[in-house]
Chain A
Amino acid sequence: MTGKGLARGLGFATAAAMALTQSSVGFVRDEGYYFTAAQGYEAWLRLLLHAPLQAIAETERYWSYNFEHPGLTKLLFAASHLVFTTWLGILPDALAWRLPAFAFAGLLSYWLCLLGLSRSRACGVLAPLLFWCAERTFFHGHLACFDIPICAMWAGVGVAWLRRSGPRLALTYGVALAVKHNAWFLPPVLLVHALLLPREQRAFALRRLPWLLLSPLVLFAAWPLLWHHPLRHLGAWISFHTRHVHYAWWYFGQVLRAPPFPIEYPVVVDALALPLPLVILLGAAGISLLLHFARLRPDPQRLLELGLAGAALLPFLLRTTPIFGGIKHWLAFVALLTPEAASLLVRAAPSARALVVAAVLTLLPGLWQIAHVHPYGTSAYGELAGDIPGAATLGMQRQYWSNDVTGVLPWLNAHCPQGARVYFHEVNVESYQTYVRMGMLRADIHYAPGPEQADYAALQWHREFRDREPQTWNAFGTRRPATGLYLDEVPQIVVYARPGLPGAPEGGR
């Protein structure tokens, strides 16, 4: 098999693995919004097919929802749903919306494999495996969100910069730009990389940079919102992210609410959330790339990997950038270190057999984490944190995005009487509607705005929402939960039922 064939195989295997394991993954809060956006954009696509001029004239009507993110991924979610669900009727809604995200996950494996293959065939196989063999990364690969897509494009732009023609570079960066605003940081990385190259390579690299000026055309084409009043919408997009709200985040027993955040925050969270062998390898890879950078004539690819990994992390070292979302906002930092991590693993092994043993032992803790914790990826912690119970004792963010609620939906379906009202806490209306639409929640179970209006409450354990539990006790007149989702004893979702209702515990205080 050729190197590219291997990369393609790993890419397809990744996408297939995501598709096969997605059904249990809850709909995170942001997916709820993107599903809603995709439904609006699908309506626009249908209008485009029947009345193109009207569709072009009415872009703002359909595309103003979720204006804060570019259109490409949501357009792909919509197109996938239009084809596979609306027209062909062969995929359930959520799988159709998520399908493009699996493609991006596959692309990430493809590009990581290519970066690894430049070192050795074993590195080509190991680089994507190192990235995906952790519950946090594996979980994010399933979501119809932007974190894995932008991570993939981060690697893709790197590969295009190293190997592709100017037009391909422009197209790849354009796609990155049309996926998420993180892409704003890529041109400076490429410029610095070009300037640090040896003289003979520098001129060639600098001559390719202007191709990036064409990339905004992709952004414009894939985001119909910009087709009318583009400056206003671009301004709103940029303004949203430069003035982004700070969500409360629990970190070593203190809730971080506003800047300045600890400078070491992203690195420490990576170290605690990922499996320990991976953390060690990534740390060694970072040091190795830095040492390589100190050489007189650094290898262009390693230099670029260092730049891309560093650029993915840098905004979160500034102490003012919002830090919510676990490790998802700097996944590219992890990804771009994996080729070098794979290389270190290969170089450390004295023989092929020893490499297999070392690789298996390096990957197994991550595979155990996936087998043990999936689909509750936002709750996962590694061995350095003492796994989930250790992280709870350390006072680390318990979970986010509300998707863990899937752990109690079967109980609610089994116990709620007809027409019961459930307070779903952090689960937004959009995600609730998707659970109903997908048959994961009975359609007669209603969404209650608070415990006072509810018969049942499914509380997500968040440090900053601790007031909801006593509020529920006061409303329900009981302090005994009916059931819950506890991972290694640690509460994630706690369900209360009003006394006397099905499933409510008898007695108790």
Chain B
Amino acid sequence: MGLRKAAFAALIAAGAGSLLFDLTLGLRLPSDADWAEAAGALRAQAAAGDAVQIWPAWAERARLFVDAAPVLAEEDPLAADYLGVKRLWVLSLPRTPFYRSPEGALRARGATPAADQRFGALLLRAWDLHAAPIAADLTASREMHEVDYVARACAPVAIGGRLAVRGAAGRVLHLRAGVIGERAYGAGKPPVEVQAFADGVSLGTLEVPATVRDGTGWRRLDAQVPGGPAEREFAFAVSSTDRSRPFCLQAWTTR
């Protein structure tokens, strides 16, 4: 009898609790007016060099409203490069189920926040990234390509090809690269190598193996640029025994 009573109570609780959760879900989500207000605030406050990071990264409805700064959907705020971004506006939906704040990741990378601004169910907060100043955006791609499920401003380079570009040397060369789209996951495919040179001197080699686990496909190399002239001829040679995959790289130098 006790078990029966407990089972009945559990069923009632599960049903009522589920219904309550469902019926209140809308209260935890932003309305069009919330989005419009947040977009208006960004229009008033955003400046050149700002970008908007949506959070969770799936909250891309923001793209319908936000027109004052580029909208980014990076999935790892700690590892993301945020190239050229001085101030990052994090536009988030903190009341959604399983929400995890990006605050810890941003603080871990040295970013500092400004005050919160709330627009209904939306939270807007600006973060100063304290990023090292860019000496040269060597690839400066206007095209976007998806690598490891994030849209990236990278330059497609055919495997077997070479990209040469002249730019300010800075102190550190940053190289990122990966295979575009689903072909990154070709099991058994040989790795792709990117050799980086400055005025013919090797700065290092970035190996891009076939991606096994999501989130590991955008590979990175950060290499010191040896002293010398203020401008250098940088070259990136891309090679692999399998040349069939579309490949993309991004490179810049920082002071």
- Give the B-binding residues of A (Cβ under 8 A): 248, 253-255, 257-258, 275-277, 280-281, 284, 344-345, 347-350, 354, 357-358, 360-362, 364-365, 368-369, 372, 382-383, 385-387, 389-390, 392-394, 463-464, 466-467, 469-471, 473-474, 479-481, 483-484, 486, 488-491, 494, 505, 507-509
The 8 Å CB contact of B144, one of A258, A349, A474, is: A474
Min Cβ gap B24→A in Å is: 11
The 8 Å CB contact of A390, one of B18, B60, B69, B97, is: B97
Cα separation A489 to B26 with both chains bound (whole Å)? 10
Q: What residues of chain A lie closer than 8 Å to B146, measured between beta carbons?
A: 466-467, 469-471
> Contacts A480-B63, A489-B93, A491-B58 given: A257-B185 contact, CB under 8 Å?
yes
Q: What residues of chain A lie closer than 8 Å to B4, measured between beta carbons?
A: 347-348, 350
Known: A466-B151, A484-B64, A507-B67. 7 other contacts (CB 8 A): A280-B11, A386-B98, A387-B21, A389-B93, A393-B58, A473-B144, A488-B25
Q: What residues of chain A lie closer than 8 Å to B10, measured between beta carbons?
A: 280
Q: How many B residues have CB within 8 A of the partner chain?
A: 51
> Contacts A255-B214, A389-B29, A484-B61 given: A277-B11 contact, CB under 8 Å?
yes
Quick check: A361 and B12 within 8 Å, CB to CB? yes
Q: Is B187 an interface residue (CB 8 A)?
A: yes
Q: Is B96 an interface residue (CB 8 A)?
A: yes
In the complex, the chain B residue whose C-beta lies closest to that of A508 is B67
Q: What residues of chain B lie closer than 8 Å to A479, measured between beta carbons?
A: 63, 70-71, 144
Quick check: A393 and B22 within 8 Å, CB to CB? no
In the complex, the chain B residue whose C-beta lies closest to that of A248 is B182
Quick check: A463 and B149 within 8 Å, CB to CB? yes
The 8 Å CB contact of A368, one of B16, B23, B30, B67, is: B23
Cα separation A369 to B215 with both chains bound (whole Å)? 32
Min Cβ gap A234→B in Å is: 32
Quick check: A361 and B21 within 8 Å, CB to CB? no
Q: Is B7 an interface residue (CB 8 A)?
A: yes
Min Cβ gap B77→A in Å is: 15
**Sample (25) of A-B pairs whose CB atoms are under 8 Å apart:** A255-B214, A276-B14, A277-B15, A280-B14, A284-B7, A350-B5, A350-B8, A361-B15, A365-B15, A365-B22, A372-B22, A382-B18, A387-B21, A389-B93, A394-B98, A464-B182, A466-B146, A467-B182, A470-B146, A470-B151, A473-B144, A483-B64, A488-B26, A494-B63, A505-B67
Quick check: A362 and B11 within 8 Å, CB to CB? yes
Q: What residues of chain A lie closer than 8 Å to B214, measured between beta carbons?
A: 253-255
> Contacts A348-B4, A386-B98, A466-B149 given: A509-B15 contact, CB under 8 Å?
no
Cα separation A508 to B231 with both chains bound (whole Å)? 34
Q: What residues of chain A lie closer than 8 Å to B61, measured between beta carbons?
A: 484, 486, 489, 491
Min Cβ gap A122→B in Å is: 14
Q: What residues of chain B lie closer than 8 Å to A509, measured between beta carbons?
A: 67, 69-71
Q: Is B143 an interface residue (CB 8 A)?
A: yes
Give the residues from 95 to 121 in chain B that come closer than 8 angstroms, CB to CB, to chain A: 96-100
Cα separation A166 to B98 with both chains bound (whole Å)? 53
Tell me which of B10, B17, B21 has the highest count of chain A C-beta atoms within 10 A of its own C-beta. B21
Q: What residues of chain B lie closer than 8 Å to A368, measured between beta carbons?
A: 19, 22-23
Quick check: B11 and A281 within 8 Å, CB to CB? yes
Q: What residues of chain B lie closer than 8 Å to A281, measured between beta carbons?
A: 11
Quick check: B97 and A364 within 8 Å, CB to CB? no
What 1/0 flags go to B45-83 for Cβ under 8 Å of A? 000000000001011110110010111000000000000
In the complex, the chain A residue whose C-beta lies closest to that of B142 is A474
- Give the A-binding residues of B (Cβ under 8 A): 4-5, 7-8, 10-12, 14-19, 21-23, 25-26, 29-30, 56, 58-61, 63-64, 67, 69-71, 93, 96-100, 143-146, 149, 151, 180-182, 185, 187, 213-215
Quick check: B8 and A481 within 8 Å, CB to CB? no
Min Cβ gap A505→B in Å is: 8
Quick check: B97 and A254 within 8 Å, CB to CB? no
Q: What residues of chain A lie closer than 8 Å to B16, measured between beta carbons?
A: 361
Q: What residues of chain A lie closer than 8 Å to B22, measured between beta carbons?
A: 365, 368-369, 372, 383, 387
Q: What residues of chain A lie closer than 8 Å to B96, measured between beta carbons?
A: 386, 389-390, 393, 489
In the complex, the chain B residue whose C-beta lies closest to that of A509 is B70
Q: What residues of chain A lie closer than 8 Å to B99, measured between beta carbons?
A: 393
Quick check: B97 and A358 within 8 Å, CB to CB? no
Min Cβ gap A179→B in Å is: 33
Min Cβ gap A273→B in Å is: 14
Min Cβ gap A152→B in Å is: 27
Q: What residues of chain B lie closer than 8 Å to A248, measured between beta carbons?
A: 182
List the 4 shortest-distance A-B pairs measured between CB atoms, nearest first: A386-B97, A361-B15, A390-B97, A470-B144
Q: What residues of chain B lie closer than 8 Å to A277, measured between beta carbons?
A: 11, 14-15, 18
Q: What residues of chain A lie closer than 8 Å to B58, measured between beta carbons?
A: 392-393, 490-491
Q: What residues of chain A lie closer than 8 Å to B15, measured between beta carbons?
A: 277, 358, 360-362, 364-365
Cα separation A474 to B246 with both chains bound (whole Å)? 16
Quick check: A481 and B63 within 8 Å, CB to CB? yes
Q: What residues of chain B lie closer than 8 Å to A394, measured between beta carbons?
A: 98
Cα separation A348 to B10 with both chains bound (whole Å)? 10
Q: What residues of chain B lie closer than 8 Å to A369, measured between beta carbons?
A: 22
Min Cβ gap B129→A in Å is: 19
Q: What residues of chain A lie closer than 8 Å to B185, measured between beta carbons?
A: 255, 257
Cα separation A350 to B3 with both chains bound (whole Å)? 12
The 8 Å CB contact of B11, one of A345, A463, A507, is: A345
Quick check: A275 and B18 within 8 Å, CB to CB? yes
Q: What residues of chain A lie closer than 8 Å to B145, measured between beta carbons?
A: 467, 470-471, 474
Q: What residues of chain A lie closer than 8 Å to B63, measured between beta carbons?
A: 479-481, 494
Cα separation A254 to B143 with both chains bound (whole Å)? 26
Quick check: A358 and B11 within 8 Å, CB to CB? yes
Q: What residues of chain B lie closer than 8 Å to A385, measured between beta carbons?
A: 97
In the complex, the chain B residue whose C-beta lies closest to that of A385 is B97
Quick check: B11 and A488 within 8 Å, CB to CB? no
Quick check: A357 and B12 within 8 Å, CB to CB? yes
Cα separation A30 to B213 with both chains bound (whole Å)? 30
Q: What residues of chain B lie closer than 8 Å to A276, measured between beta carbons?
A: 14, 17-18
Q: What residues of chain B lie closer than 8 Å to A390, measured between beta carbons?
A: 96-98
Cα separation A481 to B67 with both chains bound (whole Å)? 11
In the complex, the chain A residue whose C-beta lies closest to that of B184 is A467
In the complex, the chain B residue whose C-beta lies closest to that of A372 is B22
Min Cβ gap B148→A in Å is: 9
